[in-house]
Amino acid sequence: MYPPQPVQPVQPVPVVATDPNLTGMPMMPMAPMGPMVPPPYTGPMIDTPQNFVYIQDPFTEIAQSYGAIIRQQPSLLEAVTGCVTQNRFHVFLQTPYGTKYAFKCNERSDTCARCCCSASARPLKIIMRHVLSFEEYDTDLSKIFINIDKPFQCACCCLCRPFMEVSLTDNGQKLGHIREPCTCCDIETEVYNPRGQLRYQIHGDCCQIGLCCGSCVKKLSNIHFEIIQNGSIVGSIKKLSANIGEFFTKADSFQVTFPANATPEDKFLLIIASLMIDYQNFEKEERDDTYSNYSY
């Protein structure tokens, strides 16, 4: 009798996939599938591309951009409950290499200020964050690129006119400020450089259909603003007609065409000027009519 032999452990046979198009030839062993990666977050009801192209250097990208698209994120909570929420904006740069997702602009304001003050008068801060990937969160303070401060201003004619101060986060360098002057009918906005010199004037004719008619027509109409420098039209800002998600909320979208000679700092200021125009003219609710005599 032979002595009993030790039992060798049975090695698992790797599963080999077969490609039917290659007449049964073996393919490489299939690796186990990892967790599914979610698509880039677009926010509720924002008609943006599913695959974003992000920017690495904000100043380099905005220097070669010829325009920008600003889309306000619709708030479902505000649409359902009627409570005024903090606004959020998504900024896309239009470059010769395509449209790229660049910044998020998040409002920071008190609940009391949102409920008691009109949209044009309430104090708030806006932080502009440089977006590098869809995995970032709004609470990540390390990517804050620009700080925007809008103090409380109870405007009366030419007194206490609303304005926004714009500065870089890293070194506190001031980029300039945006101011709304006193006008009778037309919409006017002024852009100033850090030295307080007038850089651009933004003019919107009050006779446009979107400004003369009711809120429904205003939502469905394009409203044009001219960017003027030294008496010449050098660019434009256009409030775009609302899509389905924006029509039932207060969300708005803007398209900015930069002047040919604009510096990166100028382009940042013109993007922020679009936010100023939105807050001063298109963020009102019916209850804001009570404050209309003090906001303009």
Kindly report the backbone phi and psi dihedral angles of residue 225, in degrees, each rounded to the nearest multiple of 5, phi listed first.
-130, 140
**Which of 43-47, 75-79, 96-100, 143-147 is predicted least confidently?**
43-47
Give the model's confidence band at 110: pLDDT under 50 very low, under 70 low, under 90 confident, else very high: confident
> Would the pLDDT of 38 be above 50?
no
Contact 233, 227 (CB under 8 A): yes
Torsion of the alpha carbons at 278, 274, 253 and 154, rounded to the nearest 10:
-10
Name residue 198's amino acid: L
- In angstroms, the CA 44 to CA 283 distance is 19
Pick from 54, 122, 107: nearest CA to 251: 107
208-218 pLDDT per residue, tens: 887 887 667 77
Answering whether pTM is above 0.85, one says: no
DSSP 8-class letter at 168 = E
- In angstroms, the CA 279 to CA 113 distance is 14
Structure tokens belonging to residue 236 = 């434009």
User: How many Cβ atoms from other residues are within 10 Å of residue 293's Cβ?
Assistant: 9
- In angstroms, the CA 72 to CA 240 distance is 11
Residue 65, Cα to own-chain centre: how many angstroms?
16
Q: Which comes out higher in pLDDT, residue 158 or 193? A: 193
Pick from 41, 85, 61: nearest CA to 251: 85
- In angstroms, the CA 90 to CA 101 distance is 8
Is beta strand 253-257 parallel, antiparallel or unpaired with respect to 232-239? antiparallel
Full set of structural domains in the chain with CATH: 58-295 (3.20.90)
Pick from 157, 192, 161: nearest CA to 177: 192
Q: What is the mean pLDDT of residues 80-102?
A: 88
- In angstroms, the CA 295 to CA 68 distance is 28
Burial of 128 (0-12, 13-18, 19+ CB in 10 A): buried
Q: What is the mean pLDDT of residues 205-210?
A: 87
Structure tokens belonging to residue 44 = 């509720």
Residue 30, Cα to own-chain centre: how many angstroms?
42
Q: What is the mean pLDDT of residues 252-265?
A: 94
pLDDT at 145: 85
Q: In whole numbers, what is the pLDDT of the chain averaged over residues?
A: 77
- In angstroms, the CA 211 to CA 287 distance is 18
Pick from 201, 197, 198: nearest CA to 186: 201
234-243 pLDDT per residue, tens: 999 999 987 7
- In angstroms, the CA 154 to CA 152 distance is 7
Q: What is the mean pLDDT of residues 93-110?
A: 91
- In angstroms, the CA 61 to CA 153 distance is 34
pLDDT at 284: 64
